[in-house]
Structure formats: C-alpha cells, structure tokens
Structure 1
Amino acid sequence: MRFAPTDEQLELGRTAQRLLAAHARNNVLPPPWDAIPQTLDRELQASLAELGLLGLGVPERRGGSGGGIADLCVVAEQVGSALPVLPFTATAAVAAVLAEHPESPGIRSALTGVVDGSVIAVPAWETFPADMVPGRRAGSLSLTGMTVDGVLAAVPFGLDADLLLAFADDAGARPRPVLVELAEPTTERTPVDSLDVTEPMASLRLTGARAQPLGPLGAHTIARMLTVLSAELIGTGRRSLEGAVEYAGQRRQFGRPIGSFQAIKHVLADRSVQLDAARMLVKVAAHALDTGDMDADVAARTALAAAADAAEAVTADALQIHGGIGFTWEHRSHVLLRRARARRSLLGTPAHRLDVLADRLLGSSNQS
C-alpha cells in the first residue's frame, strides 16, 4: 500500500499552494472586523476552474480533470490551510453526486457548469441524513412533483449559489436527494451570522423552486464527501500547528524561547503526533476509495473522526500557546479555531461520530 505522494501529487500541491498564496497577499486573514465577506471570491473560483482543480476526481469522459480522491485531498488540504472564501469542499461534494447521476441532459449540464466554475453549487448540509453528516438538523424541504418548498437555516455561500444539493421529504417517504435551482422569484435569500468568518452563510426560503430528483447516493460518494472534508480539516490543523511552533520559537520568557518549556514542548509534540496519525487515516481512506475497497466507508468515517478531533485540539491549543495575542481579532488563530468548531457543528460531536462509526463496523462484522 503506497502512501508517499507521487510526483504529480507533489506538483499539484505546489500549484494549489502558489495560487492560494498569491490570492492571500491581497486578501488578509482574518478579514477586517467591519468587512467580513458575505459572498465568495469569484476571481479565485475562476482561477481554480481554469487550472482544472474544480474538476478533480470527476472522470474526463464527463468533463472533469480526472484523477483520484487522493489528488482531490491534496488540494483540499491546501484549501483548508489557506481558508479562502471559497466553497471548494462543498463544490467537490456536489460534483461527486452529479458525476454519479449523469443520466439526464440537465445533470450533465450542471456538472459541466460546476467544473468550469460558471455554476456555483453547494450542499444544504442541514438536510442530509444523520448517518451521512451527523450534525444537528436545522431545516427541511418538501418535494411535490418537480418543485420543493421549505426554509433552510444556514446554507454555505447561500447568497452565491445557483444550485443546491439537498434531501427533501417526498410525500412522507424517506427523504431523497434533489438538485434545486436557486432562482428568483422562487428563492428568498437572507445573510446570517456564521461562526466561520471564511464561510458565509445565508438562510433560504424556497417556494415552488424547480428541482431534479436524484437516485440514492452510493456509499462511495458519501465516503468521498467525508474524506475530502477530513483532508480540509488536516490542512487547517497543519497551518495552526505550524503557526504555534513558529511563535513558540520566537516568543521569549525568562530569557528563553517559550518552546523550550516542557509544558509547551509536550503539547506541540502531542498535537503533531495526533495530526500526523489523522493525516495517515485520510490517506488510507483516499486509497480505499481510489482502489474500490469494500471498506472505504468505514475508512472514511474513521478518518473523519480522527481529523475532526485533531483539528479541534490543535487549533485550540495553538490559540492558547499564542497567549493574549491569539485572542485578538487581528490574529489568525481564532479564524482557524472557528473553522474547526464550525465543522464540529456540522459533523457532530466526537461521541456522535464514533457512534456512527461503531454502527458501520458492527454492520460490516455481522455481514462477514
């Protein structure tokens, strides 16, 4: 089993890093207190599309850039580190579903638009079943024929989105996935406060919005969503840890760098080991998906549990290591912590994630 990155993946990571770094020079992190973004960065979105990064993991025969989930995770980790105002993992989730449902001209057209950046498509995570995204449910939609109605409390990049991937109740039956067109006058959008200052939210009121019902999502697609989210969290944790290590080497107390103190040194070492272990589990999940392993779903949920825990622990400890300056708005520590905590709200508590993972493991055991 090979986990060392290929030359192509190394170059892919460097390309994404250079692009995001160039963007960051003109877009400070955190944003000014009185200028928190409400919409995505269209220029950066176009740049990612031009390089084919929005089509990673989508087969070339369906208009994508090809590549595997491991390649997609390389870019997701860089995005998680840079935290641009961009729905990269959200777009990747929708693209995965559309690539699984290419049977109609409408779906094919939507996938083409997502890949070339002309269509902004995001998931309404709050409608997803709890075994897929085990966070708190906040909204619901009702499907009647080819239209949906309902109110969603917090949709990422809801002010920008053209398409919405959601689950809707169908005449009392089990909620089914639908692709919703967000257009006037059937969509009413209202910005709402977001814990994560790099992922603006909006509430949506849908009244007779056109919708394309989709078939059930495959286990591979769900595992892919969770693995990419996990890779993004690894990037956030990595940047937070690197910042804490750098600060601990510069900040001096009692004539010594604070990084030489045992309490600081051990915390940083522990978090580094925790993050490395989680990163390896993400690689295992990506490998399982790329090779069609039957245990890919379990691997993805294991990676998610480890990555979410590591990101939250690393970002919290990194803020503490920075001391008073870490609590100021101008320092990026709180931005990284906010991303980790926002993902916890989305993905559920550690206990909930482990419960879902245990159900999967016991189910696999009973079937064997």
Structure 2
Amino acid sequence: MSAESESRNTEPWGSFDENQGGGSAVIDMENMDDTSGSSFEDMGELHQMREEEEEEEEEEEGGGDGGDGEFLGMKGIKGQLGRQVADEVWQAGKRQASKAFNLYANIDILRPYFDVEPVQVRSRLIESMIPVRMINFPQKIAGELYGPLMLVFTLVAILLHGMKTSDTVIREGTLMGTAIGTCFGYWLGVSSFIYFLAYLVNAQITMLQTLSLLGYGLFGHCVVLFITYNIHFHFLFYFLWLLCGGLSTLRMVTALLSRTVGQTPRLLLCGTLSVLHMMFLLYLHFNYHKIIEGLLESLEGPPMVPMQRVARDVPVLTLNSTLLITH
C-alpha cells in the first residue's frame, strides 16, 4: 500500500488536455454574455446616476439655491449646503443674542452684590455715621448694593409719610412715582457725577463703591427727615441737619480723602460731594412739598366751586305801566 501510494504521489501531473479527455480548456471571452455580471465600470455608472438623481431632488426642494451656486461658479455647492450655511449663521447669531440677553437677565450675576447678612448691614449703617480719621491709607468701602437700595426705598417711604403729615392736600394718589424718581435720581445721578470727577482726579474708587458709599450716606437723611416730619421745629431740624447730615457727609469725605492724592483734587472732589449731599437734605425738607403742590395744581387744576342758586330781584310793574305798554 505504501509503495502504491508513493508511486501515485510521485507521478507527474498531466496537462488539462490529458485530464479532460481531449476537451478544450480555452475560455472564449468574446462569447460571454455582458449581462452575466457587473464590472467596475457598471458600478461607477450606477453610482453616478444615483448622485444625479439626488442632486435633482435637492434642487427641487431647495428652490433657487442652485442658481446662486452656478452664478458664483461653484457648481458643487447646492441647496443643501446653502441651507446648512444659513442655519449655522442663524444659530451663531442666536447664541450671541441669547448670551447678551442672559448677561442682564441672569440673576446669578447680581447675586454677589446683594449677598449680605443683616448683621453686616446694621454695622455698616452705624459706621456710616462715624467718621474715620485715617486718611493715609485707603479705607475699605463695602461693595454691595442691598443696604443702599433699602435706604433709598426707606427714604421714598419717609417722603410719602411727610406728605401725609404736612398740610399738603393730595386728592388723587400720593404721586409715589415722583418720590421714587427724586430719590433714585439723586442716588444714581450724583453717584455717576462723583465717579466721573473721581476718574478725572485719578481717585482709586470704582462705580460700585461710589454707589455703596453714597447709598449708605442717605442713612443720615432718613433719620433727620423721619424725626422732623413728626416734630415740627425748625431749630430741631437745623440741629439734626448739622449733626446727622454732617456726620454722614464727613464719613464719605474721609473715605474719598484716603483714596485721592493731591490737595486740589481732594478739595474739588470732597467739596462737590459735601455741597450736593447737604443741599439735598435741605431741598427734601423745605422745597419738595411745595414742588409737589405746584405739580398737582398744574396737573389737576384749581378745585371747582359747586354751583349755587342766587336770589335775584325781579322788578314789579304797576298797572299803569302795563297799560302803557299794551297801548
């Protein structure tokens, strides 16, 4: 068995003609059917046809986007690419607009300016009436707006209370908007003006610190007006004006002195603040109600006098006069 197998394995291979019994093993390529299989050329044509169909569908959906691409000389940019670019531009503009809107609408941005404990507010109210002698080093100024904002609203309430306790006759409402405009106008307007002067004289203070400093300075105004609206003595007002108003003003002046260099800049900045702050208290006590009365008279007009019947003398004609008239 082993000899036979070795003889079989060692036999030389024959040709195709010998194994097939004389049959032809030549493949006739010319007689093959072209539809029997798909070549690479056929696949390329099919792929090109599909791409053309997709481009026609996109042109029908996209409208005139393809015309713009041909006009610019970029035939490959069709309607879908144009829509994608327009969508990206729209989304980018929308994100920028929403980011700018959220900058003012997001409450987290304003939270640090109002994150303060009531104990800190109470201590800062007391400190606003105590001047500090140290002016060689910059004094610390609180950078929060909760206390100043509450003081401005308190001043508005005191003004409305003074209008009720005084002789001011208000027939239709109390004109709360006028009080709010006066108090907030002074706080924001004078703070902006003082900050502008501080910028000119190179004082080391920010706008937030200016708002906080001037807002806490209104504590003396609230104390003076609340007392004098209930106790009507001019001597008491002048005494409290010099005491409470002067102490609060002096506190702000020392804070600005510690952050300003030079005699002339200090005189300009501190003198302007002192005059504005003290004169505002005089205005609220003496002239505010007169201006409100004049405004009410101009808006509502003088009070109408009710109509009354007046007796009139009717001449009585005698009989002779009547006869003469008839004849």
Q: TM-score, normalised by structure 1?
A: 0.27
Select the structure that is richer in strand: 1
Q: TM-score, normalised by structure 2?
A: 0.29
Give the structure with higher Rg (CA): 2
Select the structure that is richer in helix: 2
